[in-house]
């Protein structure tokens, strides 16, 4: 998995400005959380933001995440049956592999290296620029019976 270097706040402010968004403490805090985490849910982002800058409603976090997503700074991923996750790895057409058992999400690079990496047999006249693929399976921890037994015992 590629290491994501956390950006200094100055870099985050520049990102917001570059996307035409006003720089606010809340937007900076939300963007910092999403940058540092991997595929975080809005609840996880809200938790982190609250520890950083104090009270913010979950709806407030959703509003900021929505604005950041519309500006193209964060990507929203929503695997079936799971809460929406947010990430700052955008515009590279990467995909996700999701564990059926524990819900862990990992990035998978574009299948042939450039988007869209899948071509439908018949695009119905559409010009396709992105393919969003979710691979489903079992993560390494969930494949090992002894490991999941230990998890059960730890509960
Ligand atoms: Zn798993
Ligand atoms: Zn991702």
For 102-147, how does the pLDDT look when each residue is reduced to its tens digit (9 = 90+)? Answer: 999 999 988 776 777 777 888 889 988 888 889 999 999 999 876 4
Q: How many CB atoms lie within 10 A of CB 116?
A: 17
Euclidean distance between CA atoms 23 and 15, whole angstroms: 9
Six token digits for residue 103? 């819900």
DSSP state of 87: E
Secondary structure class of 77 (helix, strand, coil) = strand
Question: What is the 69 CA–ligand 2 centroid distance (Å)?
Answer: 14
Closest ligand to 133 CA?
2
Question: Among candidates 109, 115, 112, which has minimal Cα distance to 127?
Answer: 115
**According to the model, what pLDDT value does residue 149 have?**
52
Six token digits for residue 121? 């047999």
Question: What is the 28 CA–ligand 2 centroid distance (Å)?
Answer: 20
Euclidean distance between CA atoms 66 and 42, whole angstroms: 10
Secondary structure class of 74 (helix, strand, coil) = coil
Average pLDDT rounded to a whole number, residues 97-101: 93
Residue located via tokens 């993560």: 139
CA triplet 140, 108, 1: central angle to 5 degrees? Answer: 70
Secondary structure class of 125 (helix, strand, coil) = coil
Confidence band for 152, pLDDT divided at 50, 70 and 90: low
Confidence band for 148, pLDDT divided at 50, 70 and 90: very low
**According to the model, what pLDDT value does residue 1 have?**
46
Closest ligand to 106 CA?
2
**Digit-coded pLDDT (tens) for 38-80:** 899 999 999 999 988 888 888 999 999 999 999 999 999 998 8
**According to the model, what pLDDT value does residue 153 have?**
52
């Amino acid at each position: 998995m590629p290491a994501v270097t956390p950006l200094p706040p100055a870099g985050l402010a520049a990102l917001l400005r570059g996307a035409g968004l006003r720089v606010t403490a809340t937007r900076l805090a939300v963007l910092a959380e999403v940058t540092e985490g991997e595929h975080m849910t809005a609840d996880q982002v809200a938790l982190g933001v609250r520890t950083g800058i104090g009270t913010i409603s979950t709806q407030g976090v959703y509003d900021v995440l929505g604005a950041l997503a519309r500006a193209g700074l964060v990507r929203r991923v929503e695997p079936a049956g799971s809460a929406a996750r947010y990430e700052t790895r955008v515009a590279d057409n990467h995909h996700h592999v999701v564990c059926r058992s524990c819900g862990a999400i990992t990035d998978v690079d574009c299948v042939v290296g450039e988007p869209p990496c899948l071509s439908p047999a018949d695009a119905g006249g559409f010009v396709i620029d992105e393919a969003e693929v979710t691979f489903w399976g079992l993560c390494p921890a969930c494949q090992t019976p002894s490991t999941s037994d230990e998890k059960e015992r730890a509960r």
